[in-house]
Structure 1
Amino acid sequence: MATYSELMAQAQTLMAQAEQARKEELSSVIADIKAKMKQFGITTADLGGASGGKKAAKSKSSAAPKYRGPNGELWAGGPGRKPEWVRAVLAQGKSMDEFLI
């Protein structure tokens, strides 16, 4: 029976092989996607990625924001699940009054 150390070494070797296979397959998948985009005249804007990078998340609410988070996040303070930054601030014992706009 193999020891724990031997099994961990095998697992690391397999993970390295899997990562290499993923990289090799990824390049062919990207090439296929680019070819199909060219064939059908699809742009990144058609896919919702006009900026080519990460887009800021759109607010689902049409209400004006009442609070600004420590990193510039906005929140209207409505019902429903609180954003992660609000939960973190409250967990630190701070008041939401500190973040009023």
Structure 2
Amino acid sequence: MATYSELMAQAQQLMAEAEQARKNELASVVADIRAKMKQYGLTAADLGGAAAGGAKKVGKSKSAAPAKYRGPNGELWAGGPGRKPEWVRAVLAAGKSVEDYRI
């Protein structure tokens, strides 16, 4: 029966072989995809991906609208549609007007 050390060495060797096989297959797949893209005149954008070399924007973007209101702690709000910030809801719940905070 093989020892633990021998089995671990075999496992590492198999993992190295598996990784090499994956790299070889991946290279073949990428070459095939590139050939088909060239054949049909497709770009990465056609596939829903970012253009080559471009970075995909991740996360929530901030509003481009200028702020119209400043909250009691300096918070800014443009007053657009959608959910109101917590400070605006608190002001309204207190019976005050949001117009008192207009910049």
TM-score bracket, normalised by the shorter chain, equals 0.5 to 0.7
| Displacement of 1:18 | 0.6
Instruction: Give, in whole Å, the separation in 2 of the partners of 1:52 and 1:36.
Output: 20
| Displacement of 1:53 | 4.3
Larger deviation, residues 39-48 vs 16-25: 39-48
| TM-score, structure 1 as length reference | 0.53
Matching residue of 2:12? 12
Unaligned runs of 5+ in 1: 67-77, 79-101
| Displacement of 1:37 | 0.6
Matching residue of 1:3? 3
Matching residue of 1:44? 44
Instruction: Give, in whole Å, the separation in 2 of the partners of 1:35 and 1:51.
Output: 16
| Displacement of 1:59 | 2.1
| Displacement of 1:46 | 1.5
Check if 1:56 corresponds to 2:57: yes
Query: Would you identify which runs of 4 or more consecutive aligned residues in structure 1 move more than 6 Å?
Result: none
Instruction: Give, in whole Å, the separation in 2 of the partners of 1:11 and 1:52.
Output: 37
Unaligned runs of 5+ in 2: 66-74, 76-84, 86-103
RMSD: 2.7
| Displacement of 1:60 | 7.8
Would the alpha carbon gap of residues 7 and 61 (structure 1) be closer, same or farther in structure 2, given more than 3 Å must change? farther
Instruction: Summarize deviations over 1:26-68 as a string: whole Å, max 9, x none.
Output: 1110110001111111101212211434412142887x8x7xx
Would the alpha carbon gap of residues 54 and 4 (structure 1) be closer, same or farther in structure 2, given more than 3 Å must change? farther
Would the alpha carbon gap of residues 53 and 59 (structure 1) be closer, same or farther in structure 2, given more than 3 Å must change? same
Matching residue of 1:24? 24
Letter in 2 for 1:6: E
